[in-house]
Structures are given as C-alpha cells and as structure tokens.
Amino acid sequence: MAAPCAEDPSLERHFKGHRDAVTCVDFSIKTKQLASGSMDSCLMVWHMKPQSRAYRFTGHKDAVTCVNFSPSGHLLASGSRDKTVRLWVPNVKGESTSFRAHTATVRSVHFCSDGQSFVTASDDKTVKVWSTHRQKFLFSLSQHINWVRCAKFSPDGRLIVSASDDKTVKLWDKSSRECIHSYCEHGGFVTYVDFHPSGTCIAAAGMDNTVKVWDVRTHRLLQHYQLHSAAVNALSFHPSGSYLITASSDSTLKILDLMEGRLLYTLHGHQSAGRGIEAFPCYLDRLLGLGLVQLRRGPATTVAFSRTGEYFASGGSDEQVMVWKSNFDVVDHGEVMKVPRPPATLASSAGNLPEVDFPVPSGRGRSVESVQSQPQEPVSMPQTLTSTLEHIVGQLDVLTQTVSILEQRLTLTEDKLKQCLENQQLIMQRTTP
C-alpha cells in the first residue's frame, strides 16, 4: 500500500488571473497544463513550467461551471451557465467550437477514457452522451427529478454515474441506457460523484457534509465520512486508489486514507479579505498590519489530482488556483498504480480525528497563520487616522464597483462589435456573385 512519506503535502504554486470564484480545475496528461473555469465566464489554461504565459479563453456568455481535458490532452471541454458546451484546442490561438447542449445550465462534462465520447449533466434534469469528433448528440438519460450536478464515465467506459439535487446517485449502463441502481443514502443534494480508478467503487459528496463510498457490484455502502462542517463541493481519487481528497465550503481540503478509512490531512488555504480590498493589494499589507482588515477563510469549491498523482489543484471563492505537491511515497505509489486497490470494506463514520493544518503563504511576505495567530500588541491610533483609513477603504469599494461596471460595458461593446462584424461578413458573402 502506498503511504505518505515523512514530508507533508506542500503548496507549490498559486495562480491568479480569474476575476471571480473558481468553479472547476483539471490537469492534462503528463501534468503539462492545468485548466480552470470561473464565475467570470473565462477559461484559463496555466502552464506548470515556471515563467510560462497562461492562456485566457473567452467565448462563454456566462459562468464556466466545468472543465475536462480529453485523454490525449489535445482537446479541452467546458460547460457553462449559458447552456452550451465548448470544445477548445488548448494552445495560444484558443480556437473552439460551441454547441447548445442543454436547455439549462451545464454542470458537468467528462470524456470517456477512449476519447470518442463525452457525457454532460445539466439543470434540465438530464444526462446526455455526445460523439466527440462529430459533436453529435447520441442519447439522453432522463430519470432524475431535479438538477443533475455531475456525471462521469467509469474507467472502462461501460458505466455512467450521475449525482443530483433529487438526493440520489444513479448508476447507468451505457449500452442498454438503463439505470442499474439508485443510491439514496444522502440526506441532501448530491454535489459530486466519481469512479474509483479500479472501476469497482464510486464516491459521492453531498450538501449534508458527508462523503460516501459504494461498491458498484454489490451496491453496498463501504465507507461513510462526516469530517466537514459544511457542504462538500468536490472530490478526487488519487490514481493509486489509496487516497481521496475533498473540497468543502468550510474552507478546507481533506485527504483521506481509503485503505485504513481515516483522515490523513486537513489543508487550509483559500481565504479572502473582501473583493473591494483585494483589488488593491498595495494597500492590503498596511491594512492587515493596522488590524483594520482580517483575512477570512472562504469556500474551497473544487479539487483534482493530476493524472500521475504527483500534484493536486484546488480552487476557491478567493479567485485563486492553488497547486499542491502530494508528497506521497513515490516508490510504493508506482507499485500500487499497476493495480489500483478498492477501499477497505468498512462502513466508518470518522469522528474527532487529528488534523494537520498547513497555513498558506499569501504572496505578500507573510503567511495567513502569522497574521491570524501571532499575539498582537494593542495599537493606539488617533481617531482621525482611523476615520481616514475607513474612508479610504470605502472609496476603494466604490472604485472597485466602478471598474467592474466598466468591464461589463466593455464586454458588451466587444460582443456588439463582434456581432456587427459577423453581420457584415454575411452581407458581403450574399452580395458576392
């Protein structure tokens, strides 16, 4: 069994470029690129090689809710609240094709392991399967009675699993298009689901703060974890099958040892000082030092292991994408990778287990931990200075809102200009003999 080495998971890099909460992340094959989607309607492709330029892809008209690289890494799929799916070529040109996939928000997109098809899930209560290269609709799965938040192919491509706000997880046979089984143990909306690398188990996360693991052959509940104090938004299996990582609205990431059914690490990282303040980082250090602003932890919205398991990435409402090094034992991991082992057959509800907190550098010369935990001496400040600083903070908020409005207007103008150019091209094509 792979085991954590003496070194704990460590923050390697953090990427800043989104202008709103990060909703999704995914690594390409060989961990060369990392894609992220955001409520800002943009898709970012980050290069793991230092000093490499990131790509910002625009095209969606509303929040990007999901991203997934094809198995070869030559395509990148994204889904959006604008009801469309886009297939991108993840290079500097950022060319994409778009098609109306659903009649409501697209919540999830996932390629089959052969790359020939992909599956989408939507607020229109359906799961749909598409041909990748023809971008042709193949069939729909329609037994959920509420929004479908996630759908994934099994590693062998024969099964599909879906998670819904109807509090169920459904297992489907791709060939017969029939629902094999419904798992109804969650006490709230089911936010995320995925297959274990062995294909024999599934794990689901829920708004009831729990993570549950089932055997897809016997449909038996194997493990039950209640470690978070708020909704679990996403989860990801380590390629070895020995570990599971979760992201929660309680601001933490948690790494579970599935072989022993216990919590290994709790990671704290995503935080914010309020969007108005963070727009002006040059003032943030001073305000933090004077105690007028405090960093607060924000929801961790998404998490994913790289295809090799060497890294994992997380995103949050603080608009940042963080890349962590797993630091699991590489030698043992290589052995386990050959045959991923399913979780131990154990219906465990983890209780008060020891946690290991990892404060994350803020990138401004001090750690979040040092800001929050160092004893602070009373600072005596004149009332006029306090009033002046509060006035500055208020003005910064107003300025931030103004910039946001201007950005929206600029985007609107760009869209209208693009539409005018397209119309002009159509007119010229019609008039040309």
Contacting residues for 278 by C-beta, under 8 A, at least 6 apart: 272, 284, 318, 319
Distance (Å, whole) CA 319 – CA 321: 7
Whether 312 contacts 11, CB under 8 Å: no
Q: Can you give the residue ranges of every domain in the chain? A: 10-325, 388-432
Distance (Å, whole) CA 152 – CA 339: 21
Distance (Å, whole) CA 176 – CA 40: 39
Edge-to-edge strand list for the sheet holding 201-206: 190-195, 201-206, 211-215, 221-225
pTM equals 0.74
For residue 26, which amino acid is it? Answer: D
Distance (Å, whole) CA 174 – CA 99: 23
For every one of its 433 residues, what pLDDT tens digit does the chain have, with 9 covering 90 and above?
A: 445 554 789 899 889 999 999 999 999 988 789 999 999 999 999 998 887 889 999 999 999 999 999 999 999 999 999 999 999 999 888 889 998 989 999 999 999 999 999 999 999 999 999 999 888 999 999 999 999 999 999 999 999 999 999 999 999 999 999 999 999 989 999 999 999 999 999 999 999 999 999 999 999 999 999 999 999 999 999 999 999 999 999 999 999 999 999 999 999 978 754 544 444 444 444 554 555 545 556 899 999 999 999 999 999 999 999 999 999 864 344 444 444 666 665 544 444 333 333 333 333 332 222 222 233 333 444 667 666 776 776 676 667 666 656 766 776 777 778 788 888 888 888 877 6
Burial (CB < 10 A; 0-12, 13-18, 19+), residue 336, is: buried
CATH number of 10-325: 2.130.10.10
Distance (Å, whole) CA 85 – CA 63: 12
Instruction: Give me the phi and psi of 314, to 5 degrees please.
Output: -135, 155
Tokens of 173: 């046979």
Select from 321, 295, 302 the least CA-distant residue to 253: 302
DSSP 400-418: HHHHHHHHHHHHHHHHHHH
Cα 295 from chain centre: 22
Distance (Å, whole) CA 49 – CA 55: 13
Residue with tokens 């809710």: 65
Whether 41 contacts 72, CB under 8 Å: no
